[in-house]
Structure 1
């Protein structure tokens, strides 16, 4: 009796079914196992250590703001000179940490991409799938492009997302403490005076909620627009490769005009897809620029009443402003990465679609002769 088994390179669904980008993780997580596990986990540990050091340096820089601007308010020249030296050391440390982070991050990205591309190439060549895909899964365009390009776009941002997300979580925790302790309480002139403890924390949360909510609403269509663009680009490349491969047959059959009209139509589809992305990006740019402009001003306006009535020093106000900006960077991680998340989701779907096509090729290829295309 023959028992059907599922091999490691088979997908659970056919390419025509709904594909979740989360299906990318079961395919790609093998990099953290087997022969590449030591390298993968070592690079991750190094990146985590650098993120912790980076957050510590940023906290020290916000404290420097308090010390420097208090010295400026007191006109303490000696303390100002000392503060300039401290800032130089902090800046050098931050630059070194950033350089090491980029180096380790790229090492991880390249190693992970190489491992996954090698795995997909082996799947593609196994069981003559490269010859069968065009018949059993014609909707899967340009498998070579998906392996070479979509894998890169699906892998590299994930590393950056992970580093950025961990940095944002640690930063949010550290700078919320600063906002709560340094900002203190404020009394609102309502109902005879209402005291709000840690008011700058609530200002930061409210501001981040509004900005991230707007980007989520206006930016969601960008995911589908990028998917359409990627599909149009791949179809054009596939058609152009077909012209090169069938050059002799096309010349004999005098099909140049027909192929030219097809390529022109595909190019127009690419241009139309890019026009749609440009319109969506223009809307998002309005929000992004408004956010960049308002972010450093909001904490100064919120703290101005306390500074004017001498309840807060200039140094404390500038420290809060610096901590507020860092908190927004942490809270707005989704805001700042929405476009790249959309691009990643589109490419991840294409990679998973290719893996699903391999399984479909195996299911339907049994009725073909081993030498059939």
Structure 2
């Protein structure tokens, strides 16, 4: 890769990092954020100034030791005590305010990203479109990790690395003059001509750190991609563990433990393989940086020793030179010190910028114009549906449902019945056309969701349970043939796992009886029920929509369900598959 291309990529990375960082400091919390940042910067400047005073103290203290000047020795001990007290106060509050900024920044970014992720069904759209519409390196895998872990790492490392960089710059500016003045001139003969290099120790420190920085990047350059890959593989392993927990009953019934064990072993092997490469890369980097710092601890003494032994400088001046050299060398070694952290921070930032790009892509306005109606009926015109693979499912379809209608939607598996329902609900992103949906509508999905909460909260979801009185909640359960749950309204449990498939479907229907919508769209809502229970509940659904002057549209394969519907829509293979895979026949 050419140097210009690397520079362009680095510039793009900085722009994206700035775009991630800036919103918090322009948000509703901007004054608190800016005040904290200004305070931390001020404390860091004060911290560096105390180091300058300590450097000056070195000369007076060691000169007093060399000259055996006891009064000056005591005076410098007192001065050290005062400086140490100031140093400790600054260090404590620098730590405290830095932690405050990090947690406040993380809290704001977490709320910001959770709101955007949940807004406009972005969380749902990402799962559908991540492989079809985004570049592979922008695939928004494991958004839970991005929000929980990556935001934490980003805010923590951005604050710490930027403050350490500020310290390094200010330290260099503060000590470069001191080291220049203390270094004196280095003279040597070349071809009979005498040359003098002023500030020799400063140039040595700069050259020493420049060589170390280049070699550090050469040794540790593999850490960035390895850190990125490690985070991805760890998230993938954790995600599969969660899936085993969520589908524990199905896995147990299938006796799938051996397969899941193999899958988990495979994913952990990927984690382990990458981690071993990461350890190997860190080992090489640690070997180099340890050698670099061990050499730097005696290097200034070796360079300054000839002047000390010649009597040109005293012990105090030599210690001050060594201290100033160490400070300059430390400031110039910021890149070397933080290379491992920079690699991890770069990987985290890349993951967040890809997540940001995915959210922006998934938040683009849909081509489907969806609006609430006045209750007169469902109107659909020019509706086209696409699959995430890019193929067209339906093309330019028109539909109409009037009050009093009862319609059964049929078709072979995979023909797009549920996808059509999603488009009618306005959540399918790969759709175009126009849909007018009656306001009092409710969709019953194949796999209803129930939060791990009290039964009353699960029943009223997503509304607050307080919107309904006790008797209304109990009556909804009775109507859904769940009298055994009437006394468990305040029991907190994982209802989605505790109840059987049939009970979950009846609980979903209890929501319908609780909220009493006029228009119902049921997707295999009774497929797990026995025929008698199915007949009883469908009669109640029909009575409900008739009472509300609405209609019902159902997806079902059973003939018993068909008996409750007056009209049938059938998805059939299209005669011209170049236009669409299926076409809708209405009868």
Note whether the superposition's TM-score is higher than 0.5: yes
Displacement after TM superposition at 1:363 (Å): 4.9
User: 2:222 matched to which residue of 1?
Assistant: 221
Structure 1 residue 207 and structure 2 residue 208: aligned? yes
Equivalent position to 2:62, from 60, 63, 69? 69
Equivalent position to 1:132, from 113, 125, 128? 125
| Aligned CA distance change for structure 1 residues 190 and 78 (closer, same or farther; 3 Å) | farther
Deviations, residues 56-102 of structure 1 (Å, cap 9, x unaligned): 11111111111111112212122122222222221221111111110
State the alpha-carbon separation in 2 of the partners of residues 26 and 256 from structure 1.
45
State the alpha-carbon separation in 2 of the partners of residues 312 and 301 from structure 1.
14
Give ranges in structure 2 of 5+ residues lacking alignment: 1-11, 132-138, 368-384, 386-421, 429-444, 446-587
Structure 1 residue 121 and structure 2 residue 114: aligned? yes
User: 1:11 matched to which residue of 2?
Assistant: none
| Aligned CA distance change for structure 1 residues 274 and 301 (closer, same or farther; 3 Å) | same
Structure 1 residue 332 and structure 2 residue 333: aligned? yes
Displacement after TM superposition at 1:24 (Å): 3.3
User: 2:16 matched to which residue of 1?
Assistant: 23
User: 1:82 matched to which residue of 2?
Assistant: 75
User: 2:45 matched to which residue of 1?
Assistant: 52
Deviations, residues 249-276 of structure 1 (Å, cap 9, x unaligned): 3334443332222111000000111101
Instruction: Give 3-state SS (helix, strand or coil) of 1:141's partner.
Output: coil
Larger strand proportion of the pair: 2
User: 2:358 matched to which residue of 1?
Assistant: 357
TM-score with structure 1 length normalisation? 0.90
TM-score with structure 2 length normalisation? 0.58
User: 2:197 matched to which residue of 1?
Assistant: 196
Displacement after TM superposition at 1:41 (Å): 0.8
User: 2:179 matched to which residue of 1?
Assistant: 179
- Counterpart contact for 1:28–1:116, Cα < 8 Å: no
Q: Which has the larger radius of gyration?
A: 2
- Counterpart contact for 1:142–1:237, Cα < 8 Å: no
- Counterpart contact for 1:232–1:269, Cα < 8 Å: yes
State the alpha-carbon separation in 1 of the partners of residues 41 and 89 from structure 2.
15
Instruction: Give 3-state SS (helix, strand or coil) of 2:29's partner.
Output: helix
State the alpha-carbon separation in 2 of the partners of residues 27 and 160 from structure 1.
16
- Counterpart contact for 1:136–1:360, Cα < 8 Å: no
State the alpha-carbon separation in 1 of the partners of residues 126 and 205 from structure 2.
52
Displacement after TM superposition at 1:150 (Å): 0.6
- Counterpart contact for 1:21–1:349, Cα < 8 Å: no
State the alpha-carbon separation in 1 of the partners of residues 149 and 292 from structure 2.
32
* Greater RCO, CA 8 A, separation 6+: 1
User: 2:101 matched to which residue of 1?
Assistant: 108
Larger helix proportion of the pair: 1
Instruction: Give 3-state SS (helix, strand or coil) of 2:338's partner.
Output: helix
State the alpha-carbon separation in 2 of the partners of residues 261 and 353 from structure 1.
31
Displacement after TM superposition at 1:189 (Å): 4.2
- Counterpart contact for 1:31–1:40, Cα < 8 Å: yes
State the alpha-carbon separation in 1 of the partners of residues 348 and 73 from structure 2.
51
State the alpha-carbon separation in 1 of the partners of residues 17 and 199 from structure 2.
42
Comparing 91-100 and 246-255, the one that deviates more = 246-255
User: 1:300 matched to which residue of 2?
Assistant: 301
State the alpha-carbon separation in 1 of the partners of residues 333 and 155 from structure 2.
22
Comparing 338-347 and 241-250, the one that deviates more = 241-250
Comparing 249-258 and 195-204, the one that deviates more = 249-258
- Counterpart contact for 1:233–1:270, Cα < 8 Å: yes
Comparing 190-199 and 52-61, the one that deviates more = 190-199
- Counterpart contact for 1:136–1:364, Cα < 8 Å: no
State the alpha-carbon separation in 2 of the partners of residues 21 and 59 from structure 1.
32
User: 2:272 matched to which residue of 1?
Assistant: 271
| Aligned CA distance change for structure 1 residues 236 and 22 (closer, same or farther; 3 Å) | farther
**1:284-295 to 2 correspondence within 5 Å?**
284-295=285-296
User: 1:321 matched to which residue of 2?
Assistant: 322
Instruction: Give 3-state SS (helix, strand or coil) of 1:195's partner.
Output: strand
| Aligned CA distance change for structure 1 residues 294 and 306 (closer, same or farther; 3 Å) | same
- Counterpart contact for 1:68–1:80, Cα < 8 Å: yes
State the alpha-carbon separation in 2 of the partners of residues 234 and 161 from structure 1.
25
- Counterpart contact for 1:68–1:315, Cα < 8 Å: yes
State the alpha-carbon separation in 1 of the partners of residues 160 and 315 from structure 2.
36
State the alpha-carbon separation in 1 of the partners of residues 288 and 361 from structure 2.
43
User: 2:282 matched to which residue of 1?
Assistant: 281
Instruction: Give 3-state SS (helix, strand or coil) of 1:140's partner.
Output: coil
Give ranges in structure 1 of 5+ residues lacking alignment: 1-18
Structure 1 residue 42 and structure 2 residue 35: aligned? yes
State the alpha-carbon separation in 2 of the partners of residues 256 and 364 from structure 1.
43
State the alpha-carbon separation in 2 of the partners of residues 219 and 88 from structure 1.
41
> How many residue pairs get matched?
355
